[in-house]
Each structure stands twice: as structure tokens, then as C-alpha cells.
Structure 1
Amino acid sequence: MSLKIKKISPESADFNRFYNFPKGIYPEDSPKWKVPEDIDFKNLIAIYGVEDENNLLARAALYQNHNLNFQNQPTCCIGNYEAENHPKAAQILIDQVSEDAKKLGAKFLLGPMNGSTWGTYRFAESTNSPFFLEPHHLNYYQKHFLNAGFQPIRNYNSKLVEEIPTDSLEPENELIELQKSLKVNVRPINMTDFAGDLKKLHELVHQAFAHNFLFTPLEKEEFVQKYMSTEKILNQEYTRIAEDEDGNFLAFFFCLDDHLNPAEKRLIIKTIARHPDPKWRGLGQLMGSLLYRKAKKDGYQSIIHALMDEDANSSSISTKFAGKPINRYFLYSKEL
């Protein structure tokens, strides 16, 4: 029985069929449905599907983000990958995406990545004990990528703090004095002017992450629009901002509750950002210590430091607070 590949745009009559394809391969109670799938329409080239007599077997998107490069070479990425456990269909799909990426001038194809690191990216090593906002996929996807010639290029992890420590933290009075000496104010994000805080966070995040692996800039309007959608899921009291006397943002913790595991009161620390000026070194540790003390008082049973680059400073912050690895994630590259 022959397989055929189809290439469509978002305007195609088949777009909804391709978009809804995962509904046929994941159970109704899958963590997959807790967060809407993200598509980076700005950088999208096309969506591809492999069919067998009009039955879709696999689908993926090809993205060309002109700000994205790997090893200083033009780079495309393959994202929104979903497939039946059909190795031949997977191979046909990835080969076609690779061929088209090469025609666009790309020297590398990265994946899985939905357009940039602002979108969903990475495959999880294990999908057995998911938490909220963790990438969720079928466990044979990594094999599809490896069989198609991809190699892992970056490792990430999540760490769990099972018992929130306070004895090993700096005494609370010392933390308050340190905060005063730095002349910083640490406050919750302002939900009455959420867009206003997001506009200021745009500058901080771009300063903090400018030299991160595969970082690409995002326009302020896009940034605000993207993160306005987090309003209903973030934990306002724990999403904290450090600012100087003039109101300039210096550091940021983005936190939310683990909505996938409501039986346990668990906090997820999703993003940590600090201004790169060396004079603010240690500010992240200060905010982390204050947050841990508050979480202990508020009855949180555990904390997850989520989706950290294993080479990044946030991973060392997690280790300081006794985090132990609970899952790893991989990003892949294929030379074209």
C-alpha cells in the first residue's frame, strides 16, 4: 500500500484535519490537552502530512526563522511533530521536510522546535510522570528522529525538591537586610496592569537571555500577546519581579501550580531571569530563598525547577535548593 506526502498551508481546506490529527493518537485524558498547541505562523513555511488512502499517519511543520542559526550556519526547524508508530511514514515525512529545508538554504535542521525557543521544543526522556507545561509526546518520537539521522545537541532537565528546606537557607532577617542593601524591591507581578509589566519584562528577558543557546528576539507586541495567555495559569503571588528604585526590572521568577497533580500542593518554577550586570549577581539566589521560605509557610509540599538547560545558571540555583533530576529532555540536529 503506497504512502503519499501532502504539503499544505494554514489556508488549506485540510488544515483542520492536520491540526486535529493528534486527537486520534492520544487518549482523551492525556496531558497533551491541558495546553493548546502552538504554531509559529510568522516563521511557518508549510505543514506536511503522510497519508495512506486518506488516513493521516504523520504530520510536521517546517519553520524558517531567519534569526535562528546553529554553528553560525542558516538553520531551519521541524516542529509540531506527531505520528502513528509507523517508521516508514515518519522517514518519508522527515526526509521531505529535510529536503525542503535544504532548498531554502539551511545547513542544519533542528527539532523538535515550533519555530523558536519561544515555542514548544525538546523531546522528554520519560513521559510517565508528567507535570503541567512539560512537553508531552508519544515515546517513540525520539526513535523516529534518530532513525532519520538526527543527533542530540543539547540536554535539559527538570528537578524536584521533595521537601522544601529552610534550615539550609539564609536566615530571613539576613535576606531582608540583603534586599535593603541592594536597594531592590521584590514584588508579585501586577495583574491589574499585567500588560504593563509584560512590556517591561520584554526588555529584561531579552537582556538576560540574549546569549542563550539558540535565542532569537521577539518583538515587544508579540511577546506581550504571547504571555497574556498565561494570565489564567500563573501563580500571581509566586511570579515575582525584582526592581530597582527607579522601577527598572532586574530579575524575574515565573511560577505556577502543577495543575496536572492537584492531589499534592506543588509549585513549578518555570523561568528565572536576571539582568546580566555583574552587580546583580546573587539576586536570583536571594529571590529563590525568599520564595522557598514563603512556599514552606504557605504549605507547599514540593517544588519543580522545570526545563532547565543543563549548562545554565538556573540549574545551579536548583542544585543549591536541593533539587534532584526527575526528567531529561533533548533537542536534536540533522546536518543537511
Structure 2
Amino acid sequence: MTKQLRESAGARANLYSNGPEWDGAATATIGEFKCESPEEGAALLRSICDEVRMQGITRVLGPMSGNTWHSYRLVTESDGTPPFLMEPQSGSHDLAAFESAGFSPVSRYVSARVTPEAGIGPDPDLMPGIEIANWDGSAPEAHFAEVHALSTRAFAGNAFYQPIGLDAFLALYMPFVPLLKPDLIFTARDAATGALQGYLFGIPNYGHGANPDTVILKTYASLRHGLGHHLAQAFHLRARDLGYAQVIHALIHEDNASADRSRRHGGEVFRRYALMGRVLDD
């Protein structure tokens, strides 16, 4: 993944020329965007789009640092609470700059908070042959290699998905290993074979200090319908038992089952985000 710095008066960004497909078309992406005013930001974005058009690319996404494995989305609404750990952040002029440069939302997301007790629902239907347990904290490289293999299958149908190699995946996640609490990381395995069928990754919100009272439900994925519900139930039960006051349902696509489940459990949306896109050949 190659990035190229682009700067102008009052604005800067990185251009990535090999972004994920958008409706079957190749894209470039714009990441690490900063601007001092909407006008200066929009001018740089328009200049980058002109450059991309000259390369024969007709779709641009942003903010996105190359692909969805890295930072992407901008904040469109917020209640002003401080950012949580690993949350994308936006400058005060970013949204206006993208809109002025002809970008519009192509995908929308939310983060919501809920008490652990509210996040616990009725027991989900039994799933014979599945065993849910915590990661024991050992052999982190082997653990995340399994997570990588499952993720590449579970996320393959998602919009804007682009595969990532194991080495690049480990480079993203291994630095967080010292922060991880195995009690908040769950695996679901085939009882007969031991094969990983799903996982859930939670982490304390260290963005608010060393001993936070909030925990983040960051990511979960599975290969079997309904398994995510089991993993989320186990997570909220554990968050309650560990004494956390709040759970953050982080960066959920607003149209997926996780967002619906969060709403049904009283999730209070405190931040909204968008991935912006522009079609250059319209």
C-alpha cells in the first residue's frame, strides 16, 4: 500500500492509488486529511480528484487510509464526548470540505453506548456443536493468524472490502497485545474439530485513562448466522461481571444487524460517521 503526500495552502492529505473496489470500479482513497478551513480543504480535494482522473481512475473514497483495515470515516454528528480508543477523528472543517469538493456519503456508521445490563438480552437459541470461550492470552501471533483467516472469509462480501496479507494484519494488531484483556476476547469454535467459527474483540476504553469504567465492543465476525448474537451476549455478561459502567458499540454500519440489536437494547447513539465518495465520470 503506497501513499503519496499532497499539500496545498492550509491543507494536506495522503493519496492512495489502489483503493478497494466501489461498485466494481477501481478507486483511489484520500487519508490523513487535515485542513485549516473548508475552502482550503476543498481546494486540495478537488486538486487530488483532478490528478486521479488523469490516472484513469473514476472513483474516489475518503477519508480512508488505503482500505478499511486502516482508519476511515469522518465524524458527521457528535454529542461532544471525548474520542474513544481507536476511534477515527475529524477536524472541525473536514465534512464541509469534502461536501464542497463534491463528495457525498456512500456508507454511514454510528457508535452507541449502553449499560452492560441493558445489553444483555434473552438467551439466544442454542447452537449445538459450538463452544464459546475466552482467548487464554497465549500465543498471540497464532491467535491473530486464526482471526485473520476467519476475517478474510467473513468480511469478503462487505462493501469496500479489500484483502490484506497476514504480515500486514499482524503489524496492525500485535502492537495492541499489551493492552488486551483476554476476559474481553471471545472465540467460538466447532466442538468437534476446534476450528474457529467466530470471534469477538473487546477492549477497555484506554482512551479515557488507565482504569476506564467503559469497555468497547470493537469487532465481531462469524461464519454462522446467529453466532454473533451469542458472542455479544457473552461479552455483555462479562462486562457486567467485571464492573464496567458502560459498553460502547463501536463504529457499526447503520443498516446491519448489530445496529438493530443495539437499538433494541437501548443503545444511545453519541456519534455518527460517514465514508464519503465522489464519482468523477458523471
Instruction: State the TM-score, normalizing by the size of structure 1.
Output: 0.77
Larger RCO: 1 or 2 (CA < 8 Å, sep 6+)? 2
Q: For 1:227-262, what per-residue CA distance to the aligned partner results, in whole angstroms no more than 9, with x for missing partners? A: 112213333211111111322111111111112334
Q: Which residue of 1 aligns with 2:5?
A: 47
Q: Relative to 1, partners in 2 of residues 1:167 and 1:91: Cα closer, same or farther, differing over 3 Å?
A: closer
Instruction: State the TM-score, normalizing by the size of structure 2.
Output: 0.90
* Pick aligned residue for 2:238 from 274, 294, 312: 294
Q: For 1:282-308, what per-residue CA distance to the aligned partner results, in whole angstroms no more than 9, with x for missing partners? A: 221112212222221211111111001
Q: Relative to 1, partners in 2 of residues 1:269 and 1:225: Cα closer, same or farther, differing over 3 Å?
A: same
Structure 1 Cα separation of the partners of residues 150 and 119 of structure 2: 29
Considering only aligned residues, what root-mean-square deviation do their CA atoms show, in Å?
A: 2.0
Q: Does 1:187 align with 2:187?
A: no
Q: How does 1:225-240 map to 2 (within 5 A)?
A: 225-240=171-186
For the residue of structure 2 that corresponds to 1:109, the secondary structure is strand
Q: For 1:115-159, what per-residue CA distance to the aligned partner results, in whole angstroms no more than 9, with x for missing partners? A: 000110111124521222211121211001111111111110011
Structure 2 Cα separation of the partners of residues 166 and 213 of structure 1: 27
Kept in 2: contact 1:272–1:314 (CA 8 A): no
Q: Does 1:258 align with 2:205?
A: yes
Q: Which residue of 2 aligns with 1:17?
A: none
Q: Which residue of 2 aligns with 1:160?
A: 113
Structure 2: which 5+ residue stretches go unaligned? none
Structure 2 Cα separation of the partners of residues 264 and 320 of structure 1: 25
Structure 1: which 5+ residue stretches go unaligned? 1-41, 52-56
* Pick aligned residue for 1:204 from 150, 162, 174: 150
Q: Does 1:218 align with 2:164?
A: yes
Kept in 2: contact 1:195–1:224 (CA 8 A): yes
Give 1:168 deviation, angstroms.
4.2
Structure 1 Cα separation of the partners of residues 21 and 257 of structure 2: 23
Structure 2 Cα separation of the partners of residues 235 and 104 of structure 1: 46
Q: Does 1:314 align with 2:262?
A: no
* Pick aligned residue for 2:90 from 137, 149, 163: 137
Q: Greater Rg, structure 1 or structure 2?
A: 1
Q: Which residue of 2 aligns with 1:89?
A: 40
Q: For 1:178-216, what per-residue CA distance to the aligned partner results, in whole angstroms no more than 9, with x for missing partners? A: 3xx522222223432000011111111111111111000
Q: How does 1:98-113 map to 2 (within 5 A)?
A: 98-113=49-64
Moved more, 88-97 or 323-332: 88-97
Q: Which residue of 1 aligns with 2:272?
A: 328
Greater strand fraction, Structure 1 or Structure 2 = 2
Aligned length: 276
Kept in 2: contact 1:164–1:303 (CA 8 A): no
Q: How does 1:12-51 map to 2 (within 5 A)?
A: 42-44=1-3, 46-51=4-9
Q: Relative to 1, partners in 2 of residues 1:195 and 1:76: Cα closer, same or farther, differing over 3 Å?
A: same
Q: Which residue of 1 aligns with 2:194?
A: 247
Kept in 2: contact 1:126–1:139 (CA 8 A): no
Structure 1 Cα separation of the partners of residues 76 and 32 of structure 2: 18
Q: Which residue of 2 aligns with 1:73?
A: 25
